[in-house]
Amino acid sequence: MPLITWTEKLSVGIKTIDDQHAVLCGTLNDLHAAMMKGEARAIAGTLLHTLVEYTHYHFSAEEAMMQAAHYPGLDEHRVQHRELTKQVEEYVARYEQGDITLSLPLLSFLSDWLTNHIQSTDKEYGPWLIEHGIR
């Protein structure tokens, strides 16, 4: 069973962003599946790096769209992005140093953060971007 199931209630109405959110959900699901199969140690490092790199890419793309549309909540949104990025990068560094292992609480935190962020903060910019010509 996946950790996150992509549904329309996670859609912000902008295909590019929805597709990127689906990739993030898929990567978290891959990490969860590996952990549940006992394969986390073998592939978690690669998947965690993929998650970090794709998160940087996604946040940059999202922020560029908000900037192009002069979205008034961009600065606050950037702060949220930076906070999550910092938390994930710190986790990856601790994982690579052997201080912590891949765990269900961590995956639950990431899953909850992503779905809550999409359903609240990201849903707020969707109509603004669409109204300003970004689809």
Q: What is the pLDDT of residues 50-89, one digit of tens each?
A: 888 999 999 999 999 999 999 999 999 999 999 988 988 8
pLDDT bucket at 13, cuts 50 / 70 / 90: very high
What would be the CATH architecture of the domain defined by 14-131? Up-down Bundle (1.20)
DSSP string, 23-70: HHHHHHHHHHHHHHTT-HHHHHHHHHHHHHHHHHHHHHHHHHHHHHTT
d(CA 108, CA 120): 18
The domains of the chain are located at 14-131
Range 88-93, long-range pairs (CB < 8 A, 24+ positions): 88/51, 88/52, 88/55, 89/52, 91/48, 92/48, 92/49, 92/52
Q: What is the pTM of this model?
A: 0.90
